[in-house]
Amino acid sequence: MESNKTLGEFIIENQQEFKYSSGELSRLFNSIKLAAKVVSHKVNKAGLVDIVGRAGGKNIQGEDQQKLDVYANDIFIETLINRQIVCGITSEENDNFISVQGSDNSNTNKYILLMDPLDGSSNIDVNVSVGTIFSVYRRISKPGTPVVLEDFLQPGINQVAAGYVIYGTSTMLVYTTGHGVNGFTLNPAIGTFYLSHPKIKFPEKSKIYSVNDGNYTHFPEGIKNFIRYCRQEEGDRPYTSRYIGSLVSDMHRNMLKGGIYLYPNTKSNNGKLRLLYECNPMAFITEQAGGKASDGNSRIMEIEPQSLHQRVPFYSGSIKMVEKVEEFIAKSRLHKV
């Protein structure tokens, strides 16, 4: 769908929907879209310049960092700090949060930003879509003082904005401020994002399930039962299995086509996805697009975070499919009693 409305124009027209706005939202998104354009340019040059492959280090979770992970992280942090728009930043790639302070060692800005700078970066080497995920909160500590850990350990229901950028055949920025979900596609010729996907909603009929089948034997019994249910020939089933291995890409497709994304806990861990950097922002977007996000037992956005890099099981997508997952998990628990 073509539109002549730019991201900047759309934000200005709808700023009254941003509860606390006095221009901060526009300035914040200007920074995000600038950093996204720089990262998009670099992603599109992957293979032509020395930007693919491992960087040689590991992030706080002990995972190998890709060169683009480090590059994207640096670009977003540098852009946000230089423009003095937020008072704090935390990233999946950093051990701890960053307190952003002005020349007088204070910061009166009200907002903090949490991000996964390059989700699915291991796919870069094989030319598969990757993305950036971000989440915005109002600080709870006193303005003018350095941010504290509690500013970042807020439940997802406190988010004032969340979004993602997907770097694929085209670059798109999708976001919500709690008044629906809208998508903007970058015209690389002039460097402008245009409204291309207004008022995104999960389709009523959903037939896609996205899960890493390679971990099937390690999944809880309830999830195994749900996957078997998806594969059965009955009614409108079997469902179609589609899994890219990049949360942004899988969620973006399912939101447009209808489906569910699953990343369960296993026998050895409590899931892979991070509550603050991935699950909360994607849950906010999912709910605003008419879907549901759960850890299998409760609403993702109501979970009280305990640490910056906390992991949780994640089931997000069309309401009926998520409710079916919860049903299978509940039945499985009953059978264990």
Binding residues: 92, 116, 118-122, 212, 243, 261-263, 272, 278
CA angle 239, 243, 245 (to 5 degrees): 160
Residue 217 in tokens: 């034997």
Separation in Å, CA 224 to CA 36, 233, 246: 38, 16, 21
DSSP class of 239: P
206: alpha, beta or left? (left if phi > 0; alpha if psi -120 to 50): beta
CA distance 276 to 311: 9
Total length of the chain: 337
3-state helix, strand, coil in the chain (%, to 5): 35, 25, 40
Q: Which residues are annotated as a binding site for substrate?
A: 119-122, 212, 243, 261-263, 272
CA distance 266 to 272: 9
CA distance 278 to 164: 10
Q: Which residues are annotated as a binding site for Mg(2+)?
A: 92, 116, 118-119, 278
DSSP class of 46: B
